[in-house]
Amino acid sequence: MPSETITGILFPQKVATSDHEAIVEVLKRIAICCSEYLVEGGYLEKSEIELYQSEYLSRLKQGSGLVDFIVFLAESKVQNHLLTLELEVSTIQQILNERLSGSVYYWDFGPMPGKQSILYETLPEVMKICESLRCTATDAGDPGILHVASINPIAALVASAWITHEVTQNSVGEQPFVFTFMVGFPVWNILLQQHFPAK
């Protein structure tokens, strides 16, 4: 199985043949990686990991829709903290980004410029990856540049690697240069509504 190089998270060889269980396994790996970094950053206690991961996995397996782990975690933790959901997410993002040593760009200047990637049409696997990992792929005004954005920097890294793998494997035109972005909660919601309005 191919993997994302910074986190080592594996993803299926072919997304087109990946069933729901395979997607859930990738999301589970992202949750595990997030949890480990959040323990290192002092946000989670080791004793909390199993509880949050089992609740998250249970929610994913129920089939009630895919949700990003840090949104799930923030929704769970906000009940115990005096922060808003947006601030809780922001706290988690800062810790994860520090652990990733700034490998992911941060965008919080309003909606990202550009339009949905043409790859959604020419390579439907890209849309499936983005929908599954709650990311978006945006052409940045040049078909050779692709912006992959998520609220979760780890999910964004995995999506970027997975999209690059799919483009290379399927030889759809030239391989785009992929920039990976973490976006704030409001921007992420706008992007998801623009890219997947019926989801």
**β-pairing, 135-139 with 115-116?**
antiparallel
pLDDT of residue 17: 53
Would the pLDDT of 76 be above 60?
yes
- Cα separations in angstroms, 90 against 7, 140, 147, 149: 21, 25, 20, 15
What value does the mean pLDDT of the chain take? Answer: 87
Q: Where are the alpha helices (DSSP H) in the chain?
A: 20-40, 46-61, 69-77, 85-99, 119-122, 124-133, 153-170, 185-195
151-174 confidence digits (pLDDT tens)? 999 999 999 999 888 888 877 667
Where are the domains positioned within the chain?
Answer: 15-99, 105-195
Residue 116 host element (H or E): strand 115-116
9-58 confidence digits (pLDDT tens)? 888 877 655 677 888 889 999 999 999 999 999 999 999 999 999 999 99
pTM greater than 0.85 (yes/no): yes
Q: How many CB atoms lie within 10 A of CB 70?
A: 28
Query: How far apart, in Å, do the first and last CA atoms of the chain sit?
Result: 28
Give me the sign of the Cα torsion angle 72, 74, 77, 78: negative
Angle (CA) 17 22 24, round 5°:
140
How many angstroms separate the CA atoms of 164 and 186, rounded? 27
80-131 confidence digits (pLDDT tens)? 877 899 999 999 999 999 999 878 999 877 777 777 877 888 888 888 899 9
Q: What backbone phi and psi angles, to 5 degrees, belong to 187?
A: -65, -40
Tokens of 40: 């290192």
